[in-house]
């Protein structure tokens, strides 16, 4: 499993782990039934406290994205793609609402915001 931790991003470490695992499930790099590294092993790999990896796995289990069993470890649970996708779209819409609100405050029209978005998109691609 490929997880990268940033100490400077401001995003809590446990959430970085949660989100990156969700992302990998969403992109089918992790499949239902796949065995995840143990919280101890992952902690060693990421050079992070066991408690932090545990917290991440707890969150994922609470959302039904993984199943953990004492003595056996943690596994990607069956078919969460729908759930994760819906959750993702929801978050996207929330971001859009914030964006539109911010744009309105700056007295930008929807077209100006769209233009800005396309300009930023082109910049990102050319990097």
Partner DNA sequence: GTGGTCTAGACCACG
Given the rule CB under 8 A, which residues bind its own copies? Answer: 7-8, 23, 26-27, 49, 62, 67, 69, 71, 85, 88-89, 91-93, 95-100, 102-103, 105-108, 110, 113-114, 116-118, 120-121, 124
Distance CA(33)–CA(67), nearest Å, equals 9
| Cα–Cα distance list, 114 to 14, 78, 98 (Å) | 34, 38, 14
Q: Which of 29, 32, 64, 72 binds DNA (CB under 7 A)?
A: 72
Phi, psi (rounded to 5 degrees) for 35: -85, 125
Q: Which is nearer to DNA, 55 or 80 (CB)?
A: 55
Q: Which is nearer to DNA, 9 or 98 (CB)?
A: 9
Indicate the pairing of strand 73-76 with strand 66-69: antiparallel
**Position 38 contacts DNA (CB under 7 A):** yes
Distance CA(22)–CA(28), nearest Å, equals 10
Q: Which of 15, 31, 110, 117 binds DNA (CB under 7 A)?
A: 15
- When CB distances are held under 5 to 8 angstroms depending on the partner's kind, the choice from DNA, its own copies, none that residue 39 binds is DNA
Distance CA(60)–CA(96), nearest Å, equals 25
């Amino acid at each position: 499993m490929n997880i990268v931790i940033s100490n400077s991003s401001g995003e809590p470490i446990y959430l970085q782990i949660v989100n990156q695992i969700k992302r990998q499930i969403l992109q089918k790099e992790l499949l239902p039934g796949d065995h995840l590294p143990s919280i101890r092993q992952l902690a060693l790999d990421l050079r992070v406290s066991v408690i932090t990896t545990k917290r991440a796995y707890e969150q994922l289990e609470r959302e039904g994205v993984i199943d953990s069993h004492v003595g056996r470890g943690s596994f990607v649970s069956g078919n969460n793609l729908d759930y994760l996708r819906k959750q993702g779209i929801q978050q996207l819409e929330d971001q859009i609402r914030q964006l539109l609100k911010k744009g309105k405050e700056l007295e930008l029209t929807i077209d100006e915001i769209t233009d800005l978005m396309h300009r930023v998109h082109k910049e990102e691609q050319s990097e």
